[in-house]
Amino acid sequence: MTPALIDDTTLFAVLAPFAAAVVAPFLTRWFKHNAAWVLAIVPALIFLHFTGFVEPVSKGESFVAAMAWAPSYGVNFSVYVDGLSTLFALLISGIGTFIILYAGGYLKGHPQQGRFFSFLFMFMGSMLGLVLGNNLISLFIFWELTSITSFLLIGFDHLRAASRRAALQALVVTGGGGLALLAGFILIISATGEIEMSVLLSSPDIIKDTTLYVPIFFLVLGGAFTKSAQFPFHFWLPNAMEAPTPVSAYLHSATMVKAGVYLLMRMHPLLGGTELWTTVLPLFGGVTLLVGTILAVRQTDLKLMLAYTTVASLGLLVMLTGTSQEKALEGAVLYLLAHSLFKGALFMVAGTIDHEAGTRDIRKLGGLRSAMPITFVAACLASLSMAGLPPFIGFIAKEVLYYGTWGWLELGLPITVTAVVGNALMLVIAAAVVIKPFFGPKVETPKHAHEGPVLLFAGPVFLSVTGLGLALIAHTSGELLIAPTLSSLVGETTQVELHLWPTSINAPLLLSLVTIGLGVALFTQIDRLRGVIGSALTAIGWGPDKGFDQFVAGTVGLSWRITRVLQSGKMHTYMILTFIFTGLAVLVPGFLTDSLPAMPKMPDYRFYEWGILLIAFFGLIAVLVANTRLTAIVSLGIQGFAVALIFMMFGAPDLSFTQFMVETLSVVILALVMTRLNLSPSDHRHGLAAVVSGIVAIGVGLGLTMTLLAITQQPFDTRLSDFFAQFSRSIAHGRNIVNVIIVDFRGFDTLGEIAVVVLAGLCVLALIRVRTKPEKPIEKPKTVSHPTPAQTGEVR
């Protein structure tokens, strides 16, 4: 069905957060942290706007809206609303509402709270633009905006070196992947000639049929895998836990890191289903799932445990998307929804514990259930969903995904085993996150723990209850949310029938039981498990996180070495290199293409013309034999004046006039420079250096002469000069054609040139003002020293 055109309200919905970002600091100045209540209205309204799409989209309709941006390049700001983008838009705006509230409570009294709101809103807008983006280029721009805004958010606490490093790392990894994505998009545009996603999706085989499918596939994957923290690019995500918790809860659970998964799902009809797709994606996704869960078990910091399970969940989603099986894709969509809800809630719970108890190390927490009852309930609901137990949406997701992987003939078994192990370890973490801090005897915490304010518990409660509610009305949520999204993935309208309780005893149910059994067994051994994994990682001793530092250090070192060669700081080297390449540029093409100019015949000069040529010649000789540089400069002036005379004789008074002035000023300024810079009065070049300079000079001179001869021997196209001669008087009211060209016909060029003159003047002035200091060798820049990760021997 072709998408229907809708009005611009949806476009403004995408832009609304950017407007909110502008007013947020002012509101925060007036209302302090209570500004969150006002600001949360913005995402809430956006959420309401998109709920209006749920019903028509579930009937298989889709919508587009567009605004011209750079129409000459086919770049429009356009949105495409279908099942997938509606689900994502609802998640972003819905969770965003509670994140804004949570940020109001979490950063209460922080001097930069307004700025924080601003960054959050900018991120929210970028994310909405990304998931709704129809035009590939505007999609890419929003993609990069999410990288930039997440850089700002992760580095919010910019006084800490660890924050800065994490922010830079996230930017380098996701921004670098973004460039791969741009290349992929450009290939798509050039291969298919289409730039709008909705048009591409209407003919699903359009990319698979081109010869560029493989490069497009890998470039798009480069973007998706870096953004969604797939192994081996996973390391930036746990490091990003340096950000304030609202950021982690928003970016690193529901939105930013899901952007890669979104892209893979969005491109699934276009790129998916091929052998390449069903091999590469399950492989990387599966490895990421296992690595993520294993590393999560090793952690004792609540946020880091959750971060690594996020990595694992993203791996699971990529693995499922990679199967290209309808049932597994349905599991992926369900798990995506479930994960956004429970992970967002759990991150906020972790933040609340940190905020109220003063630590998030599970070894220092315990017995908080009576002190923080509301948070405790929310944590329980969310972690039960994470563990995949009924009656939560996490359970339904797990059932469906087992059904999908088990039924896949080619790679069903290894995928299913990976999923079972991953889910069992996920259950271990889910249990550890709740049982350690909340149950057991009360442990003395750095702060006296008590329940947080409503701003802090509103989010976790609502999200975890939603996770329960959506499961209780499984049939409806399947019809309204899951089915339309799945339709976007498979490219045709599909039906989804969800049940909260399994209808019969089948393989998925047994696999669930195995998962739960394995998980419980592993949980009882969690301390031993942690020790084993820890010592194994210490034995390996190297990880991509360390590799990132080595990569950065290597790049800095390489650029230092290149700079040392290219920019020696010696004027002589610069000049000789410039002239060598100028000479080659004018000489080589002539010889290569065998288009050397014919030797001109000796012109019939008058005696005074010969006289002027002789003056020029003697000027040159004088330059060569001059004892001191000052004499050489003045002698060069002789030659210049002779050239000016030649211009005059051949009817170019303006040129000649200018040449006179330029020669005069050059001599004056060169002489001043000579005396000013305390250069040695005579030339220091002898022997070999003089020969090299001589050869270069002759080569350049010869090359330029030949170029000039070659140009004059071409037939002269007089159209331009005829035009100027004809219209200089009638259009531009001037008889001096040269001047008319400069100030009128080509005035815009002149404007650029005088801008260069001003800049050159400024630069020279700055150079002269630099006092010469005693010679100091250029030092190798110190590699930015990064703080070692919190625990020594840590491998991420």
Q: How far is the CB of 632 from other proteins (least distance, A)?
A: 18
CB of 643 to other proteins, least distance (A): 16
Tell which one of 733, 773, 776, 782 touches other proteins (CB under 8 A): 733
The helix/strand/coil state of 567 is: coil
Residue 608 Cβ vs other proteins, minimum distance, rounded to whole Å: 21
Q: How many CB atoms lie within 10 A of CB 16?
A: 20
Q: Which is nearer to other proteins, 693 or 750 (CB)?
A: 750
Does the footprint of other proteins cover residue 631 (CB under 8 A)? no
Q: Does residue 29 bind other proteins (CB under 8 A)?
A: no
The DSSP-derived string for 199-251 is HHHHSTTTTTTSTTHHHHHHHHHHHHHHHTT-TTSTTHHHHGGGS-HHHHHII
CB of 388 within 8 A of CB of 427? yes
Instruction: Among 653, 694, 701, 793, indicate the residue that binds other proteins (CB under 8 A).
Output: 653
Q: Which stretch binds other proteins (CB under 8 A): 7-15, 237-245, 474-482, 756-764?
A: 756-764
Interface residue with other proteins, options 760, 778, 784, 790 (CB under 8 A): 760
773 binds other proteins (CB under 8 A): no
Nearer to other proteins, 507 or 757 (CB): 757
Question: Among candidates 315, 345, 171, which has minimal Cα distance to 243?
Answer: 171
User: Residue 675 burial by CB count (10 A; 0-12/13-18/19+): exposed, middle or buried?
Assistant: exposed
Question: Phi then psi for 11, rounded to 5 degrees?
Answer: -60, -40
- Phi, psi torsion values for 65, nearest 5 degrees: -145, 150
Q: Which residue has the tokens 């060209």?
A: 741
Q: How many residues contact other proteins, by CB under 8 A?
A: 40
Stretch that binds other proteins, among 469-477, 688-696, 700-708, 743-751 (CB under 8 A): 743-751
Long-range contacts of 56-59 (CB under 8 A, 24+ apart): 57/81, 57/82, 57/83, 57/86, 57/484, 58/83, 58/479, 58/480, 58/483, 58/484
The Cβ of residue 73 has, within 10 Å, a number of other Cβ atoms equal to 9
- Two structure tokens written together for 617: 């010649």
The span of 41-49, 582-590, 735-743, 783-791 binding other proteins (CB under 8 A) equals 735-743
Phi, psi dihedrals of residue 243, rounded to the nearest 5°: -70, 155
The sign of the torsion formed by the CA atoms of 31, 37, 40, 45 equals negative
Work out whether 521 is an interface residue with other proteins (CB under 8 A). Answer: no
Q: Is 454 in the site for other proteins (CB under 8 A)?
A: no
Residue with Cβ nearer other proteins (517 or 653): 653
Part of the chain binding other proteins (CB under 8 A), chosen from 1-9, 67-75, 203-211, 764-772: 764-772
Three-class SS of 520-535: HHHHHCHHHHHHHHHH
Give the interface segment with other proteins, choosing from 237-245, 341-349, 702-710, 742-750 (CB under 8 A): 742-750
Residue 735 beta carbon to other proteins: minimum distance, rounded to whole angstroms: 4
Residue 78: strand, helix, or coil: strand
**Which of 686, 733 has the CB closer to other proteins?**
733
* DSSP bridge partners of 81: 63
Judged by CB under 8 A, which stretch of 7-15, 105-113, 132-140, 727-735 contacts other proteins? 727-735
Burial label, 190 (beta-carbon count in 10 A; 0-12, 13-18, 19+): exposed
Which range of residues in 223-231, 364-372, 688-696, 731-739 is near other proteins by CB under 8 A?
731-739
CA distance 246 to 104: 9
Interacting span for other proteins (CB under 8 A) from 148-156, 384-392, 570-578, 650-658: 650-658
Confirm or reject binding of residue 742 to other proteins (CB under 8 A): yes
For other proteins, which is the closer residue by CB, 90 or 741? 741
> Of 585 and 764, which CB lies nearer to other proteins in the complex structure?
764
Site string for other proteins, 662-701 (x = CB under 8 A): x-xx--xx--xx-xx-------------------------
The β-bridge relationship of strands 4-5 and 63-70 is parallel
Q: CB–CB of 369/379 below 8 Å?
A: no
Nearer to other proteins, 602 or 770 (CB): 770
Q: Name the amino acid, one letter, at 761.
A: G
**440 neighbors 367 (Cβ within 8 angstroms):** yes
φ, ψ of residue 607 to 5 degrees: the values are -65, -35
**Using CB under 8 A as the criterion, what x/- string covers residues 563-582 for binding other proteins?**
--------------------
Q: Which of 762, 778, 784, 790 binds other proteins (CB under 8 A)?
A: 762
- Specify whether the backbone of 324 is left (phi greater than 0), alpha (psi in -120 to 50) or beta: left
Q: Which is nearer to other proteins, 193 or 752 (CB)?
A: 752
**Any contact of residue 755 with other proteins (CB under 8 A)?**
yes
Using the rule CB under 8 A, give the single segment among 245-253, 386-394, 585-593, 755-763 that binds other proteins: 755-763
- Binding residues (CB under 8 A) for other proteins: these are 653-654, 657-658, 661-662, 664-665, 668-669, 672-673, 675-676, 732-736, 738-740, 742-744, 747-748, 750-751, 754-755, 757-758, 760-762, 764-765, 768-769
